[in-house]
Amino acid sequence: MSLNKFDMIVIGTGPGGEGAAMQAAKEGRRVAVFERYNHIGGGCTHWGTIPSKALRFSIYTAMETLNSPFVKSMGLRPHPSLAMLRASARSIITKQESMRQNFYERNQVPVIRGQARFVDPHTVEIDDGTQYKADNFVIAVGSRPFRPDGVDFNHPKIFDSDTILELNDRPHSITIYGAGVIGCEYASMFRNLGIKVNLVNTREKLLEFLDDEIIDALSYHLRDKGILIRHNEQFARIEGHDDGAVLYLESGKQLKTDIVLWANGRSGNVENLGLENIGLTPNKRGHIKVNEQLQTDVEHIYAAGDVIGYPSLASAAYMQGRAAALHACGCVDRCMKVTDIPTGIYTSPEISSIGQTERELTAAKVPYEVGHSQFKSLARAQITGRTVGMLKILFHRESLEILGVHCFGANAAEIIHIGQAIMKQPPPNNTLDYFINTTFNYPTMAEAYRVAALNGYNRVF
């Protein structure tokens, strides 16, 4: 076999690319991955998930410590800079990159540096003119913040969700345009630092894909912290000045703050891939259309991760990459369907959910009931002082099948997986009975499932 001929070529080393490459290698295929940057790991490791979540944790723990009565009684009033708070993220990124490099080496998957561009449906070429052939391809090139025309992102007061991580001086105020997951997460982070926050939403509600009760809880707690939320607004223009930036809205409102963060949408990194040479045309946001098996319109070319659009989660991207690789390897009996993907939203408090919402169940005329557990009633939450939040279980009132789990509060993204595990069981093991009849450690946050299950069961007659 030619040194430049592979069973599978993966373009991109983010979660989607890594999942595809590792799975194909485990299936005994000869795999190569292409990376145009000097570092592996993609946007997840270097510009998105890891650095932003590490920064969030640093802010949360720092402010929790600085606001404790004991620290205040000692007369300590330190003011950590954003550069100091970001320091921990750098070490985590280095560890993540080293670990992932080891994965490729251990599985004998070469990482080829350079921009891969399709020459024909079975050939890609990199910058130096070297060509590589494969039977199958997985496009996992990720995404970047969408930048509208007319906004000067080179201005020192105007940022997007990548460049905001380079901010060194703590501003006194910020306007965030876009109240999706990224906008809400950054609104929470900056407000935890004591910064005044304007959160501008282009829709009627925050995060409309969530359960209405969770949306209401999030809106209440963001406002309770002092975040000013404006709904149903569209931007007209943004002007940068020496002393700040002004966001002009079509409604006539003008918001002036120290900085403006554009957090409204992302675009797939499809430029320079040579998609025109293989007959693929992405949509206006750079997303590539795929079927349930992650195949593009060219059946031996797959796509995974942010480049295919929703849900644009690192967790989903990794599993999509694995699913694509399994299908390409002909593993029909083990093919994965990437469904029931949990949300993980790192606001303060966290939000996580899986399954259907009350709105969806009502529209579908499903006879369901609701079980609640308020965190303020749990001993573990009282011990830790993190009493804000709740766990909500939606279940079929006749079969008791779990239809949805929604969590708002500290560690929600961890807590949700207990409900996920039961929902995924075949009937009759996916019902409320599991939570009612299982002993949970005490005191724990997991105990919320028993409390919510009993609360819901008491509504059934």
Annotated binding site for FAD: 53, 306
Per residue, the 3-state secondary structure of 276-340, as one string, reads HHCCCCCCCCCCCCCCCCCECCCCCEEECHHHHCCCCCHHHHHHHHHHHHHHHCCCHHHCCCCCC
Tokens representing 189?
Answer: 């982070």
- For residue 361, the one-letter residue type is L
Binding residues: 53, 178-185, 265, 306
> How many whole angstroms from its chain centre is CA 76?
36
DSSP state of 431: B
| Radius of gyration from C-alpha coordinates of the chain | 24
Tokens of 77: 């009033």
Chain-centroid distance of CA 1 in Å reads: 40
First to last CA, the chain: 69
Q: How far apart are CA 259 and CA 155, in angstroms?
A: 10
445 CA to centre of own chain: 23
Sheet holding 254-257, edge to edge: 235-241, 244-249, 254-257
